[in-house]
Amino acid sequence: MQDELIIISDYCRKCNIEPSFIDLLEEGGLIDVFSEGGERCLSYSQLPDLEQYSRMYYDLSINIEGIDAIHHLLGRMDEMQREICELRNQLRLFQ
């Protein structure tokens, strides 16, 4: 099933963010922008990340490079947490 899309200009207007912020995130590889019917769009699945990025940028004054670093570190943390769970499950087998 194809992910639903939201028009960027509508999202920016409703959330009071600058469309140029979306451009910066796209250039940084943090989100993917699609073109649908002549409109630039985002998939709904990206909205939680976009909301997190906009809070970092607007509320905490973190620049795009900082957001990218935080994104990378959070991803690594998730990987390590999964690995810890797997190792704990394996350890239970030997107890």
pLDDT value of position 21: 96
Could you write out the DSSP letters of every residue in 33-67?
A: -EEETTEEEEEGGGHHHHHHHHIIIIIS---HHHH
- Number of domains forming the structure of the chain: 1
Q: Which two tokens stand for residue 58?
A: 């607007």
Domain CATH number, residue 65 = 1.10.1660
- Going residue by residue through the chain, which has 95 residues, state the pLDDT in tens, using 9 for 90 and above: 357 999 999 999 999 999 999 999 999 999 999 998 899 999 999 999 999 999 999 999 999 999 999 999 999 999 999 999 999 999 998 87
Q: How much is the pTM?
A: 0.82
Domain encompassing residue 54: 5-94
